[in-house]
Structure 1
Amino acid sequence: MTVRCQYRPMSTTLPQTQEPRFAGLLEEARALQPRTTALRRTIHRHPEQGLDLPVTQAAVLAELADLPLAVTTGRGLSSVVAVLEGARPGPTVLLRGDMDALPLQEDTGLDYASEVDGTMHACGHDTHVAMLASAARLLSARRDELAGRVVFMFQPGEEGQHGARIMLDEGLLDAAGPRVGKALAIHITSTLRSGVITCRPGPIMASADTFHVTVTGRGGHGGMPHDAIDPIPPTAAMVGALQTMVARKISVHEPAVVTVAHLKAGTTTNIIPETALMEGTIRTLSEATRALVHKEIRQVCEHVAAAHGCTAEVTVVPGYPVTVNDDTVGPHVLDLATATIGQSYSEPMLDPLMGAEDFSYILNQVPGAMAFLGACPPTVDLATAEANHSNRVLFDDTAMEHGVTLYAAFALDALR
């Protein structure tokens, strides 16, 4: 996952002018940094996958226990929802931090590396949890400044299990009473300079669907293909035909990716199999293009198979929708970063990512934004830094100060 943004020279100074409601915010986040780092490393040592994260949930509950929050846990997953009531009436904002890890063996050599075989926080969700917990602590101390309420969303199951959708079904947006009116998620990335916040309006991450094609012919002897109907040639032809479909059916102004990632057929060298399997991923940045690609994949595969005397069974499995930032909230996130952290750490994101996020379910219902936080360690060359999802990825802990600051600034700004 490589994030491209507009480069600005680095500065180590605080913003020269701060609005009164943001005064001292970055310094308060820095004061919490030992606590933020300790929680992050605890969770990093004990990663959990999927929707059931009892150890992570317990760590979050313990961290929030002394704060003035109304806390509930999920029924169908190990989520934590904490509500902070402000001193005065007002709207409701939501801040999200995902909690789950990946099926990966860690090879970083860190002294707080994963102690769970085959599971690693390689996407930085441990930092998201720690930043959100510290933002809850910071905002609790500033409760008298809030006109409204903050919903802190600690979410399992982002890595493909639709955890956000399940939390929505369990009443997340109404957890505080008055419905959530604005939302923010921050995602850390190892491929940006540490501490940089980047965001954009409109699509910021792609939809992600999978396709599965079974081509059926008639098996036979490898030396006598004329007595069989070989499913392998049409399957091979589909690989190229799908790329031609993208180039000729999809507008060049509407990005679409169709990647064939898995082919399987046969058992040995002298047998023509009866079936062949092809699978892959579909990524788009608009729902209209998404629907068109789904339709065209079916048409291409069925017709290519028919041309070879075979049949094709095509299944498209919908995944996460396009993640679309609000046209106003997206740019305003950068304004908040400039006001609290400094202009050199606030960089417009040039291009959407073709990765996917289930925060898209939230943004389909609530105006809001996803932002990225750079965390490439200063000892690592940015050009060769291991990316998110690598077994060797590293994140700079100090970047979390900026994440905590942005979470808090977003709430303070919305609830003034």
Structure 2
Amino acid sequence: MNNITDLIQHSLNGISGELKELRQSIHANPELGYAEYNTTSLIKNFLVSNGVEFINFDNLTGGFAHIDCKKEKTICFRADIDALPITEKTCVPFQSVNEGLMHACGHDMHAAIAAGTAVVLNSLKEYLKHNIVVIFQPAEECNPEGGAKLVAEQGILEEYNVSQMYGLHVWPKYKVGEIAVKPGVIMGSSDKLSIEVIGKKSHAAEPHGGVDAISISVDIINAIEHKLRREIDPFDTSLISIGSIKSTGRYNVICDKVEIEGTIRTISEDARSFIHRRINELAAGIAGSYCGKSIVNINNGYAVVRNDRSLSEVFIRFAEGFLGKENVHTDIQPSLIGEDFSFYCSIVPSLYFFLGCDCEHPLHSDRFLPKEETLYTAVNFLCNFFLSE
């Protein structure tokens, strides 16, 4: 046996049972960002038991594996490992045992894919043309301060001379064995919007004596979601979604305070800056017209995930040859789901792709569950790609 694809499959077959157990153990024991202590231990134990050194981050959960082939070039693959505050309803035998927590975004699958890839590549390191770093990153879900920045600040990319970065996300709309990828922007920026509207209380029967914060809020929301939309180029993908409205009102009292929260998603920095500015202007103008006040706070979250064009061309060409052209979707629109992988994109040439996992329920659903075969298909694909480079 000397064909590299056969060698990869043989190595993968040897760990398939352990890999399945790892994924299910991570899924059953979800932990929130910056608290992935057990998750880190599970990953470390799997890697070490299979001959791969695991290095913990300094003062941070997660860690990384370094496959040193004494080459000049180093390629990095990143997986996120944190879960979400969601109560699981999948009813699988390995359902979450941590009440109110769930791997509803597939990070259990990401972590296991990365661990399996590290073990297989390490077993075939004599065939690698470059060194490999595999990062197990905490806190991707902690927008606007995700774990990518803190991991990068550990100095790993510089210390190991990383020249390329890769990442993936399981994607329920595509079948197992399919991927979606495109050059340029593949995921949008994600910012948190908060607006505090301040009015003045009065008796509901005497509204002229107060300033109605609810009426102000309604006009602000309408302006943000409708008027502002007419000011943005329709071909410049962006959206503003209001997710929460809280008031201090009572049925017979003119409300004096409302808190509005939402999210801003764009695929261009120009649109992002414009929307930020106009929300401030609109909120101030509308509140002022009622003799009220508005306080706008926009937290810059994750920037756009932008795929390097040269890496994309090489990756797509390989994927079409390995998976079949019909299974590689390149004519796709960017997703407006945010990702802190964007931070790595700002440091080194990077590529991020969507991995088919064939699930009828969407990401962040309490019933989201990738097909198990996604795990083996992904490890096989990634190992073949990294060994072809």
TM range, normalised to the smaller chain?
over 0.9
Give 1:273 shift.
Answer: 2.2
2:64 aligned partner:
81
**Which deviates more from structure 2 when the two are superposed, residues 293-302 or residues 247-256?**
247-256
Q: Which moved more, 1:190-199 or 1:317-326?
A: 190-199
Q: Secondary structure at the match of 1:318?
A: strand
User: Which among 118, 121, 131 is matched to residue 136 of structure 1?
Assistant: 118
Pair 1:400–1:343, CA change in 2 (3 A): farther
2:48 to 48, 52, 65: 65
Q: CA deviation at 1:236?
A: 0.4
Deviation at residue 245 of structure 1 after TM alignment: 3.9
Matches within 5 A, 1:215-234: 215-234=197-216
Determine if the alignment matches structure 1 residue 272 to structure 2 residue 237: no
**Residue 168 of structure 1 aligns with which residue?**
152
Are 2:181 and 2:316, in contact at CA under 8 Å, matched by a contact in 1?
yes
1:303 is aligned to 285
Specify the code of the residue in structure 2 equivalent to 1:219: K
| Closer, same or farther: CA 326–22 of 1 in aligned 2, 3 Å | farther
Residues 123 and 388 of structure 1 are in contact (CA less than 8 Å); yes or no, is this contact kept in structure 2?
yes
Q: Secondary structure at 1:235's aligned position in 2?
A: helix
Residues 72-111 of structure 1 aligned to structure 2 (within 5 Å): 72-86=55-69, 88-111=70-93
CA distance in 2, matches of 1:21, 1:358: 33
The answer to whether the aligner puts 1:408 opposite 2:357 as a matched pair is no
Q: Which residue does 1:332 correspond to in 2?
A: 314
Structure 1 letter corresponding to 2:23:
R
Question: Partners of 1:349 and 1:99 in 2: how far apart?
Answer: 29
Q: Which residue of structure 1 aligns with residue 25 of structure 2? A: 42
8 Å contact kept, 1:33–1:398: no
CA distance in 2, matches of 1:165, 1:20: 39
Shifted more, 216-225 versus 263-272: the winner is 263-272
Shift of 1:51: 1.0
| Equivalent residue for 1:374, pick from 356, 362, 373 | 356
Q: 2:230 aligns with which of 248, 254, 260?
A: 248
Moved more, 234-243 or 397-406: 397-406
1:395 aligns with 2:370: yes
TM-score (norm 2): 0.94
Residue matched to 1:16: none
Q: CA RMSD in A?
A: 1.9
> How much does 1:111 deviate?
0.8
Distance (whole Å) between structure 1 residues aligned to residue 298 and residue 37 of structure 2: 33
Question: How big is each residue's C-alpha offset from its partner over 1:58-117, in whole Å with a ceiling of 9 and x where there is no partner?
Answer: 01111111455453212232121111011x422111001110111111111101111110
1:256-281 CA-partner distances (Å, limit 9, x unpaired): 10111111223311111222221110
* Structure 1: distance between partners of 2:17 and 2:327: 22
**Structure 1 pair 109/70, CA: closer, same or farther in 2 (3 Å)?**
closer
TM-score when scaled to structure 1? 0.88
- Tell me the distance in 1 between the aligned counterparts of 2:237 and 2:88: 33
CA distance in 1, matches of 2:24, 2:290: 56
CA distance in 2, matches of 1:191, 1:316: 31
Residue 54 (structure 1) aligns with: 37
2:311 partner letter: V
Contact 1:98 1:129 survives alignment (8 Å): yes
1:289 aligns with 2:264: no
Task: Report the CA distance between 1:399 and its aligned residue.
Answer: 1.5
Secondary structure, aligned partner of 2:374 = helix
Is the Cα–Cα contact under 8 Å of residues 193 and 375 in structure 1 kept in the other structure?
yes
Deviation, structure 1 residue 129: 0.8
Cα distance in 2 between the residues matched to 1:174 and 1:52: 26
| One of 127, 132, 144 as aligned partner of 1:150 | 132
User: Distance in 2 between the 1:73 and 1:175 partners?
Assistant: 15
**Alpha-carbon contact 1:95-1:407 (below 8 Å) kept:** no
Whether the 8 Å CA contact 1:186–1:403 is kept in 2: the answer is: no
Aligned match of 1:317: 299
* CA separation of 1:266 and 1:89: change in aligned 2, threshold 3 A: closer
Residues 227 and 246 of structure 1: CA distance in aligned 2, closer, same or farther (over 3 Å): closer
The whole-number CA distance in structure 2 between the counterparts of 1:76 and 1:293 is: 37
Aligned residue-pair number: 386
CA–CA distance in structure 2, aligned partners of residues 170 and 24 of structure 1: 34
Matched residue SS, 1:153? strand
Contact 2:189 2:304 (C-alpha < 8 Å) held by counterparts = yes
Determine which structure has greater relative contact order: mean sequence separation of CA pairs < 8 Å that are 6+ residues apart, divided by chain length. 1
Instruction: Show structure 1 runs of 5+ residues with no match.
Output: 1-18, 378-384
Amino acid at match of 2:178: V
Letter in 2 for 1:41: Q
Matches within 5 A, 1:195-210: 195-210=177-192
Deviation, structure 1 residue 328:
2.1
Partners of 1:92 and 1:115 in 2: CA distance: 38
Q: Distance between the aligned counterparts of 2:324 and 2:373, measured in 1? A: 16
How many Å separate the matches in 1 of 2:50 and 2:130? Answer: 17
**1:331 Cα shift?**
3.7
Q: Secondary structure at the match of 1:72?
A: strand
In 2, Cα distance between equivalents of 1:28 and 1:339: 22
User: Secondary structure of the residue that 1:365 maps to in structure 2?
Assistant: coil
Structure 2 residues without counterparts, runs of 5 or longer: none
Residue 335 of structure 2: aligned partner:
353
- Residues 148, 194 of structure 1: alpha-carbon distance in 2 compared, 3 angstrom cutoff: closer
CA distance in 2, matches of 1:55, 1:102: 15
Identity of aligned residues (%): 27
